[in-house]
Amino acid sequence: MRIIPAIDLKDGKCVRLFKGDFDKTTEYSNDPVAVGRRFSDLAVNDLHIVDLDGARSGEQANRSIVAAIAADSGLDIQLGGGIRDRESLETWLANGVTRCVIGSLAVTEPECVKQWVSEFGTDSIVFALDVRIAATGEPMLATHGWTEDSGVSLWECIDGYAEAGIEHVLCTDVSRDGAMAGPNFELYGAVLERYPQLQLQASGGVRSIGDLQKLRAQGVPAAITGRALLDGKITAAEVSSFRPSA
């Protein structure tokens, strides 16, 4: 299983949100490039970057910082936040980003996204599918920076891309993100049971190397962790020891 460190950008700084709430922000560094360099020293190959300002407004104000992190870190970058047109997608893929993360548009504009998958390939696009668990237990998708409920279930969305092709899915339980409450193991088990071919990325709630070990035991291909690394709850030594048995 791959461990993927995460950097969230807001106002040019590295931050973390609590459950996706922009009013509950913890600032970690005013030098995100240095954070990316720190993560590049870990035993990892990938780095997940979210432009929170872009996710909220569609304007990628942190563009220069993303480019600097990509150039400096040497890691495979997957970038999300504000990528809402073909031009942005093409530009980033041509300028140091390995995969572009498509969130709300995957739910609201599926025909457009299917065209992008056909043109750029399934390995170039990560579907960011953010869920809230309904009272019925159904995972329902939240969009637009988690501010809107789509009325579409996780299963409906993935099934809708079956013919077009869908390879990488980054699935976040919104209630767990930044809360250090532990991943939603039940959700990820259900996803893998339904779609064993997916390159699933578990996101939200990772507290320790133990959580990552449990996700790996479930068969999850990759897991994203931000706050636990930034807070030192997961150490460089633990990441290094995790990799050989992956």
Is 130 an annotated catalytic residue? Answer: yes
d(CA 152, CA 149): 8
The one catalytic residue among 51, 130, 173, 211 = 130
Nearest CA to 32 out of 79, 68, 81, 75 is that of 68
Sign (positive or negative) of CA dihedral 243, 195, 178, 218 = negative
- Dig out the tokens for 49 from the structure: 């970057």
Nearest CA to 123 out of 196, 199, 71, 50 is that of 199
Contact 110, 161 (CB under 8 A): yes
Question: What size, in residues, is the chain?
Answer: 246
Q: 239: exposed, middle or buried (C-beta count within 10 Å: 0-12, 13-18, 19+)?
A: buried
d(CA 215, CA 207): 12
Is 8 an annotated catalytic residue? Answer: yes
CA distances to 44, 45, 89, 114, 177 from 224, in Å: 11, 12, 22, 25, 11
d(CA 178, CA 204): 6
**So which residues are the catalytic ones?**
8, 130
